[in-house]
Amino acid sequence: MNSPSDLQSTRSRDRILDLLLKAEAPLSVQAAARELGVSRNAAHQQMVALEREGLIERDIAIRTKGRPSQGYRLSEKGGATFPRQYALLAKQMLEEMARVLGPAELEQAMERIGLSLANSLRSSVGDDQSERLVQIAALMRQLGYESAAIGGPDGVEIEAHNCVFHDLAFADRAICGVDLALLRSLSGREVEHRRCMALGGRSCRFAFSEPGESPDRDR
């Protein structure tokens, strides 16, 4: 159980982030202390901790009657801590794409998205075939998947216990084409979607053909 001091610290941190979200100009430590009703030292400690975590960043100095004060602003990472309805917007966009394009064209669009994503990540995957699937699983974790390279009946597979497109996949499995194109392009192998959460599986599992059996569509 968190102590009262820990809860107070969390509230102060959240309040600083909220202040910076709504601020039209850089915020100084003194101004943060005044808004929070705490000492300058306490506010400074919170600002230092938030900067260390990458949630806030330094901005221009604020002119005062005395020495200029360091100004702070919300970082991109800090802004991402606030709720955003990406899933709702993405679902609406997918439904509109399906309505306009039709099933075949939608599948092709999802494949293009997966290939484009793969191209942006390709430099992080080495040439060593024995390590490639492990590296791809690590890249997927960076994208938000809970993924790992595991042993399967026909060799190494990639298993993901969550999907960044989870709600969209339940609405339209065409979205799975993004994953398949991404994995196929990065691995240079054919990919079989052996288990899918959108079909009731407890995870998604992807099996791969042997190295050297390059998928023709990516050539």
Per-residue pLDDT reduced to its tens digit, 143-185: 889 999 998 888 899 999 888 888 888 888 899 999 999 999 9
- Distant-in-sequence contacts of 107-111, Cβ < 8 A, 24+ apart: 107/174, 107/177, 110/174, 110/175, 110/176, 110/177, 110/178, 110/181, 111/177, 111/178, 111/180, 111/181
Q: H helices of the chain, where?
A: 4-22, 29-36, 40-52, 76-79, 86-101, 103-121, 129-142, 166-171, 176-187
Give me 29's structure tokens: 């430590």
pTM, rounded to two decimals: 0.63
What are the structural domains of the chain?
A: 4-79 (1.10.10.10), 86-218 (3.90.1520.10)
Highest mean pLDDT among 61-65, 182-186, 199-203: 182-186
Cα–Cα distance for residue pair 146/34, rounded to 1 Å: 42
Cα–Cα distance for residue pair 150/120, rounded to 1 Å: 25
